[in-house]
Amino acid sequence: MNIDSHCHLLPAVDDGVESIQESITLLEEMRLKGVERLYLTPHFLSPKSPTNISEIMKRWNEFRSELNSHSVEVLLGSEVFLRPEVLECDLVSMGESNVILVELPTQQKPHYLFEVIENLQMKGFRVLLAHVERYEYFFKKSGFLLGKTKLTGDISRLRDMGVLFQVNWNSLDRDPKAKALIEEKIADVTGSDKHKIGDGRLLIDFNDGRYGFFLNDYYL
Ligand SMILES: [Fe+2]
């Protein structure tokens, strides 16, 4: 199944689309590019885009049938910002699965990274790390004139813990860190991370052979 695992198309809850019309326009474009299933992943606990679960559920109940009337299966998830208090919160996983999409701070590796992920796993969640290429601290430069981007041991440690890795489709052409993840066969899933019309983020093109790098839906 052709899946876009990360987007902000639930209207009027975060820094994503503002109206159902905008969502439907994007959903139609996605359908034409081959999307068969889309997970809506509004921010949760993000310092940049504060949201609350009751508002997310209210919008989901308001729009779920309209969103699902365009030949694309639309399911609710969320994009959870990793912080210790996440362990005290009710979390929205991806559809009926136990997978939660988790984002990290971009500048500095959180000191609680491994501990909180382990605790989430003990609660029964499978962690899918959002746009891994965005976290500079997971990568290092090496080789001739430091021209090669390599992964740090933290990525291997997370992999050994059973964490899944999501790469933004938009990064494939332009980000050496995304390329390194694909070369090392460590990118499991892709997503558009589409926020709104005109945000400059490419929609996933399922006719592009590179989608074949990614796993399908066994984990969901
Ligand atoms: Fe996102």
Give distance in angstroms: CA of 6 to centre of ligand 1.
6
- Provide the CA 128 distance to its chain's centre, in angstroms: 7
Contacting residues for 66 by C-beta, under 8 A, at least 6 apart: 20, 24
Q: Is residue 169 part of a domain?
A: yes
Question: What is residue 84's predicted lDDT score, i.e. its pLDDT?
Answer: 96
Q: Which residues of the chain have pLDDT under 70?
A: 216-218
Give distance in angstroms: CA of 96 to centre of ligand 1.
20
Question: What is residue 218's predicted lDDT score, i.e. its pLDDT?
Answer: 66
Q: Is residue 220 part of a domain?
A: no
Distance CA 137, CA 10 (A): 31
Total tally of structural domains belonging to the chain = 1
Give distance in angstroms: CA of 45 to centre of ligand 1.
12
Give residue 186's domain range: 3-213
Structure tokens at 214: 């990614």
Q: Is residue 24 part of a domain?
A: yes
Q: Is residue 218 part of a domain?
A: no
Q: Is residue 109 part of a domain?
A: yes
Give distance in angstroms: CA of 209 to centre of ligand 1.
24
Give distance in angstroms: CA of 107 to centre of ligand 1.
16
Distance CA 168, CA 132 (A): 8
Contacting residues for 48 by C-beta, under 8 A, at least 6 apart: 15
Question: What is residue 215's predicted lDDT score, i.e. its pLDDT?
Answer: 75
Give the predicted TM-score (pTM) of the model. 0.94
Which CATH number covers residue 144? 3.20.20.140
Give distance in angstroms: CA of 146 to centre of ligand 1.
30
Q: In this structure, are strands 99-103 and 73-76 parallel, antiparallel, or unpaired?
A: unpaired
Q: Is residue 207 part of a domain?
A: yes
Is the dihedral angle over the CA atoms 154, 159, 161, 167 positive or is it negative? positive
Q: Which residues surround ligand 1, an ion (CB under 5 A)?
A: 79, 193
